[in-house]
Amino acid sequence: MPDSGIVKYLVRLRFEVDGVVERADVIGAIFGQTEGLFGPEMNLNELQKTWKVGRIEINLESKNDRTKGEVIIPMSTDIGTAALIAAAVESVDKVGPCSARVMLSSIEDVRANKRKQIVDRAKLIVREWSSKSSSEGENVLKDVTDSTKRAKVINYGMENLPAGPGVYSSELVYLVEGRADVVLFLRAGIENVVALEGTSVPDSIIELGKKKRLIAVLDGDRGGDLIEKELAQVVRVEKVIRAPTGKEVEDLTPIDVINMLKADRAEPSAQRRERAADRQQERTQEGPQEEDEPVVVKTRELYPSLNGTLEAVLLDQGLQEVGRFPISELVQRMEGASGAYFLIFDGIVTQRLVESATKVGVKGIIGHRTGELSEVPDDVRIGTFRDLELE
Alpha carbon distance 186, 3 (integer Å): 70
Global pTM? 0.38
Q: What is the mean pLDDT of residues 3-9?
A: 67
DSSP, res 103: E
Describe the crossing of helices 294-306 and 269-283 by its angle, rounded to 10 degrees: 140
Q: Identify the pLDDT of residue 154.
A: 93
pLDDT confidence bin for 328, thresholds 50/70/90: confident
Per-position DSSP letters for 255-298, written without gaps between them:
HHHHHHHHHHHTS-HHHHHHHHHHHHHHH-TT---TTS-HHHHH
Torsion of the alpha carbons at 284, 288, 291 and 297, rounded to the nearest 10: 110
Lowest mean pLDDT among 3-12, 93-102, 116-125, 289-298: 289-298
Q: Identify the pLDDT of residue 37.
A: 81
**pLDDT exceeds cutoff 80 at 107:** yes
Alpha carbon distance 324, 306 (integer Å): 10
Where is pLDDT greater, at 137 or 236? 236
Query: Quick check: 70 and 12 in contact, CB under 8 A?
Result: yes
* Amino acid in the structure at residue 2: P
Strand ranges for 36-146 from DSSP E: 57-63, 66-75, 94-95, 98-109
Helix (H, G, I), strand (E, B) or coil at 144: helix
Alpha carbon distance 122, 129 (integer Å): 10
For the chain, domains (ranges, CATH) are 9-112 (3.30.70.2690), 154-266 (3.40.1360.10), 305-384 (3.40.140.20)
Q: Identify the pLDDT of residue 141.
A: 52
**pLDDT exceeds cutoff 80 at 323:** yes
